[in-house]
Structures are given as C-alpha cells and as structure tokens.
Structure 1
Amino acid sequence: MEKLDDRLRAVASFVPAGARVADVGSDHAYLAMYLFTDGGADFVIATDKNEGPCEAARATLRSAGLLEKIPVRCGDGLMALEPGEVDYVCIAGMGGELIAHILNAAPSVFGRLKRVVLQPMNDAPMLRAWLYKNGWHVADESLAEVDGRLYEIIAAEPGTEAVPEPVLLELGPVLCSRKPELYTRHVEERIAKYQRILDGLRRSGHPDIERIREIGAKIREMEGKQW
C-alpha cells in the first residue's frame, strides 16, 4: 500500500497474523486496511471519535471494496469496542497522555487485550511509566523515520514486571537493549532536547540549581546509554 508510511508499517509489524485487532483513531483507515489485506489479521475494526474521520475511513474502504469486511465505528477510544471483541489494539499519532487516558477509560476492554501497539507523538516516557504502573510492560519497541522525524513504537502486554530505571523509561528499555538502526540518533535527539532545557535554566536570572543538577544528571545517564 503506497499510502502506508514507515511509521504505520512499524505499528503493523507488531500485530501478528490471525489477530483480531482494532485501529483506534483510524482516520482514513489506511492502517486498518493494511492489517486486513497485507498483515493477515482475521478481523479488523476501524474506530474514530468524530464523524468526519469515520466517513473518510468508510470512503477509503468503500473504494477498496472492503467496507463490508472492515466495520467503521464512531466512538470515544476503546469505548467503541465490546469487551473481548478484539485481542489487539493499535493507537497511533496521538499524544502519550491522551493514549493513556484512552486505555484507562475503558478497563473492561483494556483488561482483556493481549497487546496494545502504541505510537505516541510525545510523552513516550510518561506512557511507558503509566503502562508499568497499571500492570503492563513493554514487550517490544521500534523506531521509524518519516520526513526526517523519528517515531517511537511501543508494543505492550499485560503482566507485572519491575519498573525500568528512569533512563530506560526515557529512551525505551527494549530500544536500549537492542539498539536498532536509528537508536543512536534517537538518543542524540533526547540529549539535545534536555541540553536546550539546561541551557535555558542556566541563562535564567534566577537559576534553579537543583533542577540544573537534575537535568545534568539525566543527560549524563543518557550519554552512558548512547552506544
């Protein structure tokens, strides 16, 4: 599928063949269609909160002759799904805080899933911490680049595990372990982000010494995970 970029292909790669899966926040349903036609999923639902994207999804599926095979539902997050109806959920292109809210808002659905595949646009460390706090853990991760921007893809599964140290939540525990192709750049971008924060604190007329020490320590920890 030409319309599926590397970011969404990376999301799809974490959904096994034979899955029953929902693409939450489906927009034009490109990911949902790919999961059904190329990913070997047995059952796919496309959902979105607003009618506009739902109609766009229907148009995409109608033109591909798949509207009867991939239902489109308008509903708020996981609340558009019935408990046990799917085993896998993909949520891509939203903020990490919103993703956590969506998962938390429908415990009867979330609690019966085998895996969630998440691609946060920001706040990935917070999302990882939230998953561990709520009885899930990071089972797999990858990085994708589209138009010069890096994206983190997190595959999480239920099961209580020890919470990784903060630097691993920041960079991704599986990413740190496997160091995939884009990993060094991923770490460098994180370090650069905190270096900008540190520089701003130091230029302040009333610098927060404790915060400066905290950010400096964080940078040194990430430098230690760089290679």
Structure 2
Amino acid sequence: MLLDDRLEAVAAFVEAGGTVADVGTDHGYLAMELKRRDESRRVIAADKNAGPCGAARRTLRENGMAQAVEVRQGDGLAALAAGEADTVCIAGMGGKLIADILAAQPEVFAGLRSAVLQPQNAFALLRSWLYEHGWHIEDEALARVDGRVYQIIRAVPGEADMPSRPELLIGPVLLKKRPALFREHVENNLEALAKVLAGMRKGSSPDRQRLQELAKDMMELEAMLK
C-alpha cells in the first residue's frame, strides 16, 4: 500500500529495527507499512478511541497482517509501558496536543530514542517544548498533500541551545536545508501570521506588545524569502 507524501515523510524518519509505536493510528496504514517495509521491526498501533482501533484491525486483517502488528486502545503514551518503544510517531494532531501527549507519560517519554512528529499547528510551541525538555530536532522535512504543506519533525534526546524565534516558527533544520517546498512553507506561515495580526487589530483593545511581536515575526520571515 502506498502512503501519501505526508506519511511517507514520517515513515522515512523511522530508524530500522527496534520497536515503534504509531500513536493516533487511525486506520493503521502507517503502522502496517512500517512493519511491511522492515519485518525485523516491532510495530504497535495505538489509538485513544475504539473506532480507529477497529478500523486499524480491519486494515491489517484485509492485508494479511493481523498478527504482524499489535493494536492497542489507550490514551496517548499510556498505551505503552516504560521502555517498551524506541520510537513514537504522532501525526495529524495539533502541536499543543502532541506536547501534552508526550508530557502526560514522562516514564514512557524518557525511554524513547526518537520521536517522529507531524503537527498540524502550534509548530513553534511544540519545537520549544522539545528543547525545554532535553530534546532537540535532528531532522525535518516538508511534504505537500492536496495543496497543503506539512512539516515533519524527527526529534531525539539531548540538550541543545534553544533555536531563535524564526527558527521555531519555520524549523531550524528546514531553514538550513531549504528543501524544495521551503518558499511555499514560509509564505504559508506569513499568511497565517497576517490573519492573526489583522484579527488582533480589529479588537477593541489589542495587545500592543503581541502586535509588535507578530510584526517582527513577519519581517523576519519575509527576509527568508529574499
């Protein structure tokens, strides 16, 4: 089964072997492909709700892999035992929710060797959270699906200096690598910031300091396009 470019980018960041958990597995496509592409790898598909767990089991069963991947119902990392997984993949959730999931089970989080994350929003928040908790970003990628550009982050344990505000917004590795979708990525972030700025200016008593911060963010992002 072919994954779309977003999930392909997630899969590409998962190391060979070991144990990987696809948290928020939905229909189980990523978990199934991770196992199919590396049979030595143990794969756990986990989801908070019964519906997606049932859908994942059906996907695996229909593809003759019902015994190859374990499906578990559990809330985030609570579906795992401490030290059980080397890598977790969390894709398609908000950046704050991803940070909350990682923070909710510190014993499990502490035992990980890597995390492959694909946030839908709150990118700077998630990146700063990782650095604040003794992790850093090792690699990043961009992928476009149905006209939308997605960010994929590979984070690993290890202290590192906190990136600058523009790096947190755009991605410190993406800023260095400047992949094919980089310009579109920056333009999308500029558009999002412009909408926030316009909305705040329409308010009866806008936060002037926040307005200045947003204007500075936009200026620094615009400089990346020159």
* 1:223 correspondence with 2:222: yes
Residue 185 of structure 1 corresponds to which residue in structure 2?
Answer: 184
For 2:134 and 2:218, locate their aligned partners in 1 and report how far apart those are by CA, in whole Å.
29
Work out the CA distance in 2 between the residues paired with 1:13 and 1:24: 17
Deviation at 1:204, TM superposition (A): 4.8
Deviation of the 1:101 alpha carbon: 0.9
SS of corresponding position for 2:115: strand
Aligned to 2:137: 138
Residue 173 of structure 1 corresponds to 172
CA–CA distance in structure 1, aligned partners of residues 93 and 40 of structure 2: 23
- Assess if the C-alpha contact under 8 Å between 1:87 and 1:113 holds in 2: yes
Q: Which residue of 2 aligns with 1:68?
A: 67
Describe the superposition over 1:142-188 as per-residue Cα deviations: whole angstroms up to 9, x where unpaired.
01110001111011000010001111001100000100110011001
Which residue of structure 1 lines up, in the alignment, with residue 86 of structure 2?
Answer: 87
Structure 2 unaligned runs (5+)? none
Cross-structure match for 1:16: 15
Contact 1:16 1:41 in 2 (8 A): no
Q: Provide the C-alpha distance between the structure 1 equivalents of 2:78 and 2:204, rounded to a whole number of angstroms.
A: 48
Whole-Å separation in 1 of the counterparts to 2:15 and 2:189? 31
Within a 5 Å distance, the mapping from 1:72-221 to structure 2 comes to 72-204=71-203, 206=205, 208-221=207-220
Q: Decide whether aligned partners of structure 1 residues 204 and 101 sit closer, same or farther in structure 2, where only a CA change above 3 A counts.
A: closer
**How high is the TM-score relative to the length of structure 2?**
0.94
Q: State the alpha-carbon separation in 1 of the partners of residues 189 and 18 from structure 2.
A: 34
* DSSP 3-state at the match of 1:8: helix
- How far did residue 195 of structure 1 move? 2.0
Shift of 1:69: 1.4
Alpha-carbon distance in structure 2 between the residues aligned to 1:221 and 1:144: 23
- Does the CA contact (< 8 Å) of 1:28 and 1:54 recur in 2? yes
- The one-letter code of the counterpart of 1:226 is L
Q: CA deviation at 1:83?
A: 1.5
Q: Distance in 1 between matches of 2:200 and 2:104?
A: 37
Deviation (angstroms), 1:210: 3.5
Residue 171 of structure 2 aligns with an amino acid whose one-letter code is G
Change in CA separation of 1:74 and 1:129 when aligned onto 2, cut-off 3 Å: same
**How far has the Cα of 1:225 moved from its partner?**
2.2
Amino acid in the other structure paired with 2:15: P
Relative to structure 1, is the Cα distance of residues 218 and 70 closer, same or farther in structure 2, using a 3 angstrom cutoff? same
Distance 1:202 1:79 in 2: 42
| Structure 1 stretch displaced more, 28-37 or 196-205 | 196-205
- RMSD of aligned C-alpha atoms? 1.5
| Residue identity in the other structure for 1:199 | A
Equivalent position amino acid for 1:138 in 2? I
**Superposition deviation, residue 73 in structure 1:** 0.5
Deviating more after overlay: 127-136 vs 39-48? 39-48
1:98–1:207 Cα change, 3 Å: closer
> Sequence identity of aligned pairs in percent?
52
For residues 163 and 192 of structure 1, what CA distance do their matches in structure 2 show?
Answer: 25
Q: 125-134 or 198-207, which moves further after superposition?
A: 198-207
